[in-house]
Structure formats: structure tokens, C-alpha cells
Structure 1
């Protein structure tokens, strides 16, 4: 049974689908997830009892849904993160960039916020691509090495990397929050063309995937160290 005293991040670890409830109620479950549910409630969310009823209602369908990643060993969890998030992220950034650029160029005069959206998206894209490459090339191999040989020396090498990655996660969270504000919760204007609507829909999906991605790293993988 999920209670109001449980940390938001721990609730998502226990019931992954609760992430959708938190997202729709503007509750941060990744970088800001280390607080009790009762403290995470705000005027943008449903009341506490309503959230508890919704989350505990998920428990009935939670059994037998397949892989529970919190129980994977470190190497398997890293492999899952890379295939579930890193590889698709690179592909999506490559595909989405031309659409963001086109919409800003065509509609930026009438909707100047699109120019700022392009600027924020470009910075976020560069940050995330550099970030995931650093994880793949440097941090994840060090995690596996430390898992196989848990020496103080390796831990001393690993900890600054984790601290830096968590800071970068926070920065990505701020950028996504800015994108949500600029897009009015990813709601295009009534007269928006198909490409305009496509960009907003895919930015919203990017937010969802990034929050889930960061949660797995911050609150599952990194928390082990």
C-alpha cells in the first residue's frame, strides 16, 4: 500500500506507471523525487487522497507486467537504459531538429515564442547528447568496473562523475520546464499547421521519456552508490 509518507521516487520505483500520474499532476519524480508524497502536493496537483487512490488503484494491474528494472544487476540495468533511452534519444534529436527549425522559421514572426523554443531545445539537445555520450564512454564502464571490483580508489573516481551527471539532470529538468511553459503545456494554437502540432507533440514525448530516463539513473542506478 502506497502511503503519503513514501518518497515520490520510491513510489515510481515500486509502481512505474505512477510516473504518468505524477507527470499529469506536475509532480517531479526524478530530480525532485526525494520528498514524501504529502510534501509534493501543490495547487497544480490533485488532492493527496485522490492521488493515493489513483496510485494504489494501479497496484491491481501491476503484477505480471514484465520486467521490473529495479531488480536488474548494474550491467543489465545499464544495457536497458542505453537501449531504451540513449539510442532512441539520438535518433529522435536527429529527426526532430529540422521540424523545430522549420516551425520557428515559418511561424516565428507571428509566434515569437517559437524562436525561444528553438533556442532552449537546441541547448537541451546538445546537453543531452553530450551527457549520454559521456555516460556510455566513461561513466557506465566505470560503474561496471566498480561493480566487479569495489575498491575505494574506484569509488573515489566514480563519485564525482555521478555528482556531475545529477547536476546535468537538474539542468535538463529546468530546460524541459521552460519548454512546457513556452508551449503552454504543449498546446498548439488552434490555427497551427500539422508540423507545428507535430513539434509540440514530440516535445511532450521527449519530456516524458527524459523524466523516465533520469528517474532510472538518479533513483535506481546511482542510488546504489
Structure 2
């Protein structure tokens, strides 16, 4: 029988809310569901559930504020648990081009199943699957196999390649977006909003990189060292590696959503006829920045982070 129980979490003491929800979810059989009722958007619960239980559930808003939020959480049947978009790209990065063609986020939203994304975006899943299958039939060339890389080396690669790119380009893009908005904003008001959104991206990513370089990546390197040298497992202040990873993934998703807004505001970086050279450079660099972030987040969300979680588990 289908489980349709409503769990009113407003009646639960705050520190017991998430444990009660997890206990209820864990008691479900595949195909069963329950509904939570809350007085604010429980989106952080979604990320926690995804991080700790994986892609084994569906999340459906039945009511979405402003006073009450009602969400139906269903546990997938074992035979219905699809490979996630991130897992597909981790196995074969060429598939990222297919997802990009259809406007599917393969990095920040990589933990979602293809059927879920296609349903939300109104895409023909059979058409997407056909193009993904066509990629499988193409002989793989000498592409870089990031999956085989040592995690410490991969961490350094991300810092030296993608973190460096972000740090070098944020000041330039921040200044340029403000300049173009000031000159062309009267006739193209979307440029003012683009400058505002990028300012937020710049601030958030700058803090994000510091946290990765000073906390998460050094711990991952300690895990690698413990594995190689047979040393003891380091005891971090944050508990276990899933905790900072969940924070990083939430911040990745935020940056991805902001860049998607910029892409929408700019009509896919379409330059108008009256655009000056600075205007054209801005759109070209914003698209380049977005592409770099996709590769950057893919390496972390779909390869580095899952392997770090697995390594820590093996060492315990």
C-alpha cells in the first residue's frame, strides 16, 4: 500500500527535525512515499538527503509557500534508480557536449537523473538518449582520463587550472560588466542585472575557493597520504568529509544557477547590433567563464568528491 503520511515538521523540535525525516525515509520500501509540511522551504534537506542517501528518491513540491511548504518524498524502487547525469559524464566526458546542447546542467545539477531533468525542462528524453548512444559508438581518442588520476594530483590540477582561471578573470569581468552596464544600460537594462549577478558570483566564488584550498583539499591530500603510507586517519574538526563537500556542492549549484540567469538575460550571449567592442568581449568572456566553471565543477562534484568520500570510508 502506498504510504501518504504527512509529517508536520513544525511540531518537531528543530534539532530533531532532520533525524526524524531521515528515520521516516529509511523506513520506506521502494515505491513508498511520505509528505513533509514545513513553514519554510526545506531545500537544505534535499541536499542533505541527496548527499547522505544518494539519488534514490524523488522530491516534489506540492505547495511552495509563502506560508506553507509541502513536499512529497518518494523512495525509488531499486530497479528504478537511474544513473545520474554526473555519473554519465564522469564515465565519458564527451557526453557533456550533448547535455550542453540541450541546456542540461551536467555539473552543478549532475546528481539528478536524466528522466527527472527532461521532464522538468520539457525535453524529449528519447532524443537525448539517442544522441548519448551515438557518443558511445564513437571510438574514444586520447582524451584525458581524470578518473585514473591520484586525488592529490587532481586537487592540485583543479587549483592550478580552474581556481587560477577564476581568480585571474573575476577582477576583469567585474570591472568590464560594470563598465558595459554604465554605458549601454539605458538601452539594454538587462546589462545592469548581469553586472549585479556577476558581482554576487565573484564574491561567492572568491570565498568558496578559499574554503576548498584551506580546508577541504588539504584534508583530501591527508587521506591520500594515509592510504599510501599506512598512517592513521586524520581527525578533522568538521566531522567527516561529506560535511564540507555538501557545502561546496550547494555553493556550486548556486553559482550554476546564477550563470544560468546570465545566459538567459543575455539570450545565450547574443550580441546586439549596437554592441561596442567591450560589450562583445564581455559576452565572449562570460561564456568562457561559464564553460570553465562547468568543467571545474564536474571534476569536483562527479570525480574528486565521490572518490574522497569512498577513500575516507575505506580508511575508517
Question: Structure 1 length as normaliser, TM-score?
Answer: 0.88
Out of 11, 28, 45, which is 2:105 matched to? 28
1:157-186 per-position Cα deviation (integer Å, ceiling 9, x unaligned): 533221221121121122112212221222
Counterpart residue number, 2:246:
163
* Shift, 1:52, TM fit: 2.4
Q: Distance in 2 between matches of 1:45 and 1:133?
A: 38
* Shift, 1:130, TM fit: 1.7
Contact preservation (8 Å) 1:25, 1:44: no
Out of 183, 191, 198, which is 1:121 matched to? 198
Structure number with the bigger relative contact order (C-alpha 8 A, sep ≥ 6) is: 1
* Shift, 1:97, TM fit: 2.5
Contact preservation (8 Å) 2:222, 2:234: no
* Shift, 1:44, TM fit: 5.1
Counterpart residue number, 2:61:
none
Contact preservation (8 Å) 1:103, 1:114: yes
**Larger helix proportion, structure 1 or 2?**
1
1:217–1:62 distance in 2 versus 1, CA, 3 Å? farther
* Shift, 1:5, TM fit: 4.1
Contact preservation (8 Å) 1:15, 1:62: no
1:75–1:170 distance in 2 versus 1, CA, 3 Å? same
Out of 281, 290, 301, which is 1:198 matched to? 281
Structure 2 stretches lacking a partner, 5+ long:
1-80, 227-231, 310-316
**Larger strand proportion, structure 1 or 2?**
2
Please say which structure displays the higher CA radius of gyration. 2
Moved more, 174-183 or 152-161: 152-161
Counterpart residue number, 1:74:
151
Q: Distance in 2 between matches of 1:59 and 1:80?
A: 27
Structure 1 ranges of 4+ moved more than 3 A? 42-46, 59-62
Q: Distance in 2 between matches of 1:196 and 1:162?
A: 36
Q: Distance in 2 between matches of 1:19 and 1:186?
A: 19
Q: Distance in 1 between matches of 2:168 and 2:202?
A: 11
Q: Distance in 1 between matches of 2:279 and 2:262?
A: 14
Counterpart residue number, 1:104:
181
Q: Distance in 2 between matches of 1:63 and 1:174?
A: 31
The yes-or-no answer on 1:47 pairing with 2:47 is no
Counterpart residue number, 1:153:
235
Counterpart residue number, 1:59:
136
